[in-house]
Amino acid sequence: MNQDLQKERAGASFKPELLTNVLDGSPENTRRRREIENLILKDPDFQHENLNFLSRSQRYEVAVKRSATMVEKMRKFGIADPDEIMWFKKLHMVNFVEPVGLNYSMFIPTLLNQGTTAQQEKWLHSSKGLEIIGTYAQTEMGHGTHLRGLETAATYDPETQEFILNSPTVTSIKWWPGGLGKTSNHAIVLAQLITQGKCYGLHAFIVPIRELGTHKPLPGITVGDIGPKFGYDEMDNGYLKMDNYCIPRENMLMKHAQVKPDGTYVKPLSNKLTYGTMVFIRSFLVGESARCLSKACTIAIRYSAVRHQSEIKPGEPEPQILDYQTQQYKLFPLLATAYAFQFVGAYMKETYHRINEDIGHGDLSELPELHALTAGLKAFTSWTANAGIEACRMACGGHGYSHCSGLPNIYVNFTPTCTFEGENTVMMLQTARFLMKSYDQVHSGKLVCGMVSYLNDLPSQRIQPQQVAVWPTAVDINSPDSLTEAYKLRAARLVEIAAKNLQTEVIRRKSKEVAWNLTSIDLVRASEAHCHYVAVKLFTEKVLQIQEKSIQAVLRRLCLLYSLYGISQNAGDFLQGSIMTESQITQVNERIKELLTAIRPDAVALVDAFDFQDVTLGSVLGRYDGNVYENMFEWAKKSPLNKAEVHESYKHLKSLHSKL
């Protein structure tokens, strides 16, 4: 064990294990998670060469092999519940992307949400056992988050009782679905349903794409890999083009909407129900933001404790870079953010399950808020985590750029979260729509509930708007509750500004769409402020629930840092809204520096508590034992370029000497 890390761990004010239990939800959950992790991490069948040294084709091959092994093992270990597969197996465990992943994360859940009992009977068994491998094909080359813009058409023919699928243009080619290029033999395709000469919007169809037995594309199907990407080397993201391709009527998922044999269309009860899968994935992505940022913090903070550089005092040995204020200022607010997002993620998961049960009982009342909240929080957390991971990488200096740090991989595999499952700006605007609706509701005299209930207290509801300056300015910067209030006021103010600007534009422009566009920067600001408030609120509430004193103390410091740092970064909003005074902002900046010093002794223990195994981190810099340099040298020696002392490309150099 590296001595610096040993010292750090001995000096911590709390036991990381207790905090790990808080993060997992209970000691029992921690035990179960480690059990599953060890089943896989200790299994020789999962050992393979370091992916960083392999070409893209080789990486894909390793991933397919691991997926195949994984399927065998899951049966053996009795992990069958889609939730457990998702939460535990796929991402919690192994830092890796799998080509058959969409079969479990999208194909099967969609079948469950949108398929009839008969359809589930027909497809579920074979897809769970991977007799068929399915993927989910929604995005098209020219169209993404905006679902109504999709062009793929499914035209019903009552004669043959078949749907005829067509990709009429280049822009309509399905593009990006994971596992589509080379792995899957079925896809759930989203297409515009046309029957009896009328278009009824998007519906889901099960489409066989490759022949069972030979794996060759079926006639009428053009399918392939979309080529190299920023990350996700192991994944065969694919394209799919269909030319007059026929599937039987029964292949349309008909739990909600139906097409009768004669072509009559039967409407679903609520068009919101189809959002189920997306809400699930988005709420899951909030947790994913937390996990990835936590990983990056673990690597950067451990390495900063091991790395010595420059000098604070001349003549003395080089200090740990974690002792530099600028380094603490880069990393500790991110650490606090990682904790905040851990709790936001846990909350989202809980809420999703609760509301999903209500939906099962036919109660859709909370769905709009859930939909708005998942959209906004997905965007808010993934934007923040994305920038945070990159900041952690740069905090590791030059070595962060090497794949041995593990950080480039975390970044490139995480960053698509900002664009997939709903582009973030579009997500923020969806949340804004909900906020505007709530604002209007309050304005028309009705109360709103849930996370937006602060709109009920808007000053404009009670007093004259120009008296905004009399809002409570007695913010106590040492009280998380009081800071939550401050964020609430900021959100309320920005929502109100956006609403008023929108109204002004609507009056001036006559067209609601144009007005909406011309206010969209304000609207995104309002959504961000709302999400920020939610994160601060959830973190504050979580701290209060903690019984163990030592854990509560350390989390309270992080919670304060998270809240104060956000104020410092957005000081303009708090000053302009008269929520805080100039001297309070000065105090906030001073308090942040004090907190950096206070958190410093616990920094390593705080990342230890995330409880990532070395294999999961995939980082030489972030090793638990801190033996960074020896292992970096060993790692580099294994690079394929070093196999021969004089590389074969020397021939080019040689000819250079002779010809010039």
What would the DSSP string read from start to end of 269-313? S-TTGGGHHHHHHHHHHHHHHHHHHHHHHHHHHHHHHH-B-S-SS
CB-side exposure of 464: number of CA atoms within 13 Å?
2
C-beta of 614: minimal distance to other proteins in Å? 18
C-beta of 602: minimal distance to other proteins in Å? 19
Per-position x/- string for 316-355, each x denoting binding to other proteins as judged by CB under 8 A, each - no binding: --x----xxxxx-xx-------------------------
Distances (CA, A) of 587 to 363, 482, 516, 582, 593: 48, 15, 38, 9, 10
Q: 256 Cβ partners below 8 Å, 6+ apart?
A: 114, 268, 269, 273, 274
Within 10 angstroms of residue 160's Cβ, the number of other Cβ atoms is 11
Distances (CA, A) of 14 to 269, 294, 312, 549: 53, 19, 29, 9
Q: Which is nearer to other proteins, 119 or 527 (CB)?
A: 527
Question: Which residues 391-420 are close enough to bind other proteins by CB under 8 A?
Answer: 394, 397-398, 400-404, 408, 412, 415-416, 418-420
Q: Which is nearer to other proteins, 276 or 408 (CB)?
A: 408
What is the phi/psi pair of residue 43, to 5°? -85, 120
Determine if residue 178 is labeled as part of a ligand binding site: yes
C-beta of 409: minimal distance to other proteins in Å? 9
Q: Which residue from 197, 219, 228, 261 is in contact with other proteins, where contact means CB under 8 A?
A: 228
Question: Which residues 65-94 are close enough to bind other proteins by CB under 8 A?
Answer: 65, 67-68, 71
Per-position x/- string for 96-125, each x denoting binding to other proteins as judged by CB under 8 A, each - no binding: ------------------------------
For residue 331 the two structure tokens come to 């990393």
Question: Does residue 217 interact with other proteins by CB under 8 A?
Answer: no
Using CA of residue 622, residue 624, residue 627, residue 632, what is the dihedral sign? negative
Q: Which residue from 73, 84, 142, 320 is in contact with other proteins, where contact means CB under 8 A?
A: 142
Closest C-alpha among 371, 328, 353, 381 to residue 538: 381
Per-position x/- string for 360-379, each x denoting binding to other proteins as judged by CB under 8 A, each - no binding: --------------------
Question: Does residue 460 interact with other proteins by CB under 8 A?
Answer: no
- Tell me whether strands 221-225 and 265-266 are parallel, antiparallel or unpaired: unpaired
Determine if residue 139 is labeled as part of a ligand binding site: yes
Q: 34-51 burial string, b = 16+ CB within 10 Å, else e?
A: eebbebbbeeeebeeeeb
195 strand-pairing partners:
198
Question: Does residue 520 interact with other proteins by CB under 8 A?
Answer: yes
Interatomic CA distance for residues 358 and 379, integer angstroms: 25
C-beta of 293: minimal distance to other proteins in Å? 16
Could you confirm whether 421 is annotated as catalytic?
A: yes
Question: Does residue 507 interact with other proteins by CB under 8 A?
Answer: no
One-letter amino acid for residue 580 of the chain: M
Q: Which residue from 80, 118, 170, 544 is in contact with other proteins, where contact means CB under 8 A?
A: 170
Per-position x/- string for 235-254, each x denoting binding to other proteins as judged by CB under 8 A, each - no binding: -x--x---------------
| Binding range to other proteins, per CB under 8 A, among 25-33, 84-92, 520-528, 602-610 | 520-528
Question: Does residue 267 interact with other proteins by CB under 8 A?
Answer: no
Per-position x/- string for 589-618, each x denoting binding to other proteins as judged by CB under 8 A, each - no binding: x---x-------------------------
Q: Which residue from 9, 34, 46, 61 is in contact with other proteins, where contact means CB under 8 A?
A: 61
Q: Which is nearer to other proteins, 21 or 337 (CB)?
A: 337
| Binding range to other proteins, per CB under 8 A, among 83-91, 104-112, 152-160, 222-230 | 222-230
C-beta of 511: minimal distance to other proteins in Å? 12
Q: In residues, how long is the chain? A: 660
Question: Does residue 31 interact with other proteins by CB under 8 A?
Answer: no
The helix/strand/coil state of 175 is strand
Q: Which helix (H) or strand (E) holds 183?
A: none
Interatomic CA distance for residues 305 and 5, integer angstroms: 7
> Do 596 and 329 touch, CB atoms closer than 8 A?
yes
One-letter amino acid for residue 415 of the chain: T
For residue 316 the two structure tokens come to 């003395």
CB-side exposure of 323: number of CA atoms within 13 Å?
14
Question: Does residue 582 interact with other proteins by CB under 8 A?
Answer: yes
Q: Which residue from 15, 32, 56, 437 is in contact with other proteins, where contact means CB under 8 A?
A: 56
| Binding range to other proteins, per CB under 8 A, among 168-176, 246-254, 269-277, 605-613 | 168-176
For residue 80 the two structure tokens come to 């069958």
C-beta of 177: minimal distance to other proteins in Å? 11
Q: Which is nearer to other proteins, 413 or 540 (CB)?
A: 413
C-beta of 217: minimal distance to other proteins in Å? 11
> Do 341 and 417 touch, CB atoms closer than 8 A?
no
Closest C-alpha among 521, 602, 516 to residue 557: 602
Q: Which residue from 7, 31, 42, 215 is in contact with other proteins, where contact means CB under 8 A?
A: 215
Interatomic CA distance for residues 258 and 264, integer angstroms: 8
| Binding range to other proteins, per CB under 8 A, among 157-165, 225-233, 257-265, 284-292 | 225-233
Q: Please identify which of the residues 98, 162, 369, 421 carries the catalytic annotation.
A: 421
Instruction: Kindly determine how many residues on this chain lie close enough to bind other proteins according to the rule CB under 8 A.
Output: 132
Question: Does residue 309 interact with other proteins by CB under 8 A?
Answer: yes
Question: Does residue 649 interact with other proteins by CB under 8 A?
Answer: yes
Q: CA 365, 369, 375: angle at the middle one, nearest 5?
A: 140
| Binding range to other proteins, per CB under 8 A, among 155-163, 244-252, 286-294, 421-429 | 421-429
The helix/strand/coil state of 8 is helix
Interatomic CA distance for residues 123 and 397, integer angstroms: 51
220 DSSP 8-state letter: T
C-beta of 139: minimal distance to other proteins in Å? 7
Closest C-alpha among 423, 415, 351, 362 to residue 389: 415
The helix/strand/coil state of 590 is helix
For residue 629 the two structure tokens come to 């340099």
Q: Which residue from 41, 273, 571, 615 is in contact with other proteins, where contact means CB under 8 A?
A: 571
Question: Which residues 620-639 are close enough to bind other proteins by CB under 8 A?
Answer: 629-630, 632-633, 635-639
Q: Which residue from 52, 155, 320, 460 is in contact with other proteins, where contact means CB under 8 A?
A: 52
Helix axis angle, 520-545 to 367-395, nearest 10°:
90
C-beta of 122: minimal distance to other proteins in Å? 14
Q: Which is nearer to other proteins, 141 or 551 (CB)?
A: 141
CB-side exposure of 210: number of CA atoms within 13 Å?
22
| Binding range to other proteins, per CB under 8 A, among 287-295, 481-489, 558-566, 578-586 | 578-586
Distances (CA, A) of 115 to 205, 619, 627: 10, 42, 53
| Binding range to other proteins, per CB under 8 A, among 83-91, 258-266, 367-375, 569-577 | 569-577
C-beta of 101: minimal distance to other proteins in Å? 14
Give the residue numbers of the binding site for FAD: 139, 178
Catalytic positions, written as ranges: 421
Give the residue numbers of the binding site: 139, 178
